[in-house]
Structure 1
Amino acid sequence: MSKVLLLALIGLMAATLITARSTDKQSECRLGRHGDPCVSASQCCPGLRCHSYAGRCQVIITTEEILAQREKILSKNKNKNKSPAQGA
């Protein structure tokens, strides 16, 4: 059960990163935003790339960002597990 919960948290973290990165400086950019059709990366806003198969602009998430968020989640879970157990 804990593995399923951990995978769900990592999935939610990835979705949060995608949403957060796709809204950065979008109002200033006149090029394709997240999800807009494209043929090359030059048609997408900075921080986005053109997905070669889907033909849409997508957020670039680095491995470092994913690992940093994973560590945040794991450290929060460790702190919760260390709290004193309540008596039954």
Structure 2
Amino acid sequence: MPVEALVAQAKRLINFFIAPKQSERLEDAQKMLRLQDNDVLRAKMDILTHWNSSFLAWERLLLIKDAINIVLATLTVSNALEAWKDS
């Protein structure tokens, strides 16, 4: 996979989890997993004018990877119309 495609997918994932509803779902998944001693981590934005923000955003994605997988799995198997719209 070309690097540009990987970067684009990461940005779409970050933008998806910045939304309030998805951020709440991510928080619930982290609480269920009891990550970081109940500390809730949110997705970080990649900001072009901030030095090192891409690295920090990707690092955060790796830290919350298990919670992201849970949220995405529940969205794809959910029968609720609202969950389908969100995914």
**Fold conserved between structures, TM > 0.5:** no
Higher Cα radius of gyration: 1
TM-score (norm 1): 0.30
TM-score (norm 2): 0.30
